[in-house]
Structure 1
Amino acid sequence: MSEFKIIKAGPEQIEDIINIAHATWPEAYAQILSEVQLNYMLGEFYNKPYLAQRMEQGNLFYLVQHKEELLGFMEIELDEKPGYTKLHKLYVLPRAQGLKLGRLLMEEAIVIAKRAGQQGIFLNVNRYNKAQQFYERQGFSVIETVDINIGNGFYMNDFIMQLNFK
């Protein structure tokens, strides 16, 4: 895996993050969300001002890179709830899936969280998203079921999954 490296993203990579999301979401969510909801969520959560604000608030973004090509990203927030890091986003381009890049990003998130003295990591995943199986293989388990109103009549129907370090 040494040909892949993880780099910390800054404001200059926001456009790259948006591009990866737009290339990944249609495949990840086509069977789960309507096209209208998918486009609404991409517009709400993947625009320059929104992502820049999240960076300014201290959320950490990382990209996985092969040579000069960016293949995926994640966003984490330390202490989103006391002692726990939230993994807000983890996406790998469809053509790069199967290369264990999601696991590489997850391992980096765990290292960062442990270094910060966190007790664990949690995340939200759509209840019908096959990524749930990936998270289970990484040691996460479902701790809660939530329906989050995101506006425009749409809801995120999620499981909250958590990995405890101890």
Structure 2
Amino acid sequence: MWEGEIDKRKNEILQNIEVNQKINPVKLDVYPHFHTVNEKNIHLVQPLAKEIWNECYKDLLSQDQINYMIDMMYNNDKVNEGIENSEIWEILKIDNVPSGYLHYKLDENNTVFLSKIYLKESNQTKGIGQLMLNRVVDFAKEKSAKAVHLTVNKHNAKAIRFYEKNGFKNMESKTFDIGNGYIMDDYIYQKNLNK
């Protein structure tokens, strides 16, 4: 009897460990809510991107490159074009204040490309970034995707640590010519998903 109880408890613990390894759980003391970008809230995207990029990239990119990339990637036409092509754009509000955003899509090769995951610095290290990443990984699993991949600036040590902590592996180094004499010098990171 006693030995059976121990085995039963051991199995419960092992199952819990297995579940917890799949995705990092999040407990928050704020109210986060994801809003799909549409014609009513699209005007929030570019100003939010501008604020976050000026925090995130101030020591990594020139101000001219930051401005160029925000104008290129976050204008309403570009965002709408992505939405029309089944890409997902979401604004994250925390306690009803726009605080971050996601942009991701299911690729033809059955992987999910996480194009953008950004959060205001004031909300970082609270588990909110984890919540955002979990959302994309959950989406990938729902779609039976084999992996989630993303690009990250080679000098963005904080983001690289975050991705590696979450099981992403550095797959390759790549340089992208984005026009106007600018390049993006990135690593490609990927997290393979177990079926």
Residues 79-158 of structure 1: pairs in structure 2 closer than 5 A: 79=107, 81-130=108-157, 131-158=159-186
Q: 1:19, CA displacement in angstroms?
A: 1.7
Q: Residue 34 of structure 1: which of 52, 62, 65 is its match?
A: 62
Cα distance in structure 2, aligned partners of 1:69 and 1:118: 32
Q: 1:119, CA displacement in angstroms?
A: 0.6
Larger-gyration structure (1/2):
2
Question: Which one has a larger percent strand, Structure 1 or Structure 2?
Answer: 1
Name the % identity: 27
Cα distance in structure 1, aligned partners of 2:138 and 2:190: 15
Q: 1:11, CA displacement in angstroms?
A: 3.3
Which residue of 2 is the match for residue 54 of structure 1? 82
Cα distance in structure 2, aligned partners of 1:59 and 1:122: 15
- Contiguous gaps of at least 5 residues in structure 2: 1-27
Q: TM-score, normalised by structure 2?
A: 0.80
Which residue of 2 is the match for residue 71 of structure 1? 99
Question: Which one has a larger percent helix, Structure 1 or Structure 2?
Answer: 2
Q: 1:4, CA displacement in angstroms?
A: 1.7
List, as ranges, runs of 4+ consecutive aligned residues in structure 1 with deviation greater than 2 Å: 5-13
Once superposed, what is the RMSD of the aligned Cα atoms?
A: 1.3
Q: 1:63, CA displacement in angstroms?
A: 2.2
Q: Which range moves more in the overlay, 110-119 or 63-72?
A: 63-72
In the alignment of these two chains, the number of paired residues is 165
The one-letter code matched in structure 2 to 1:121 is V
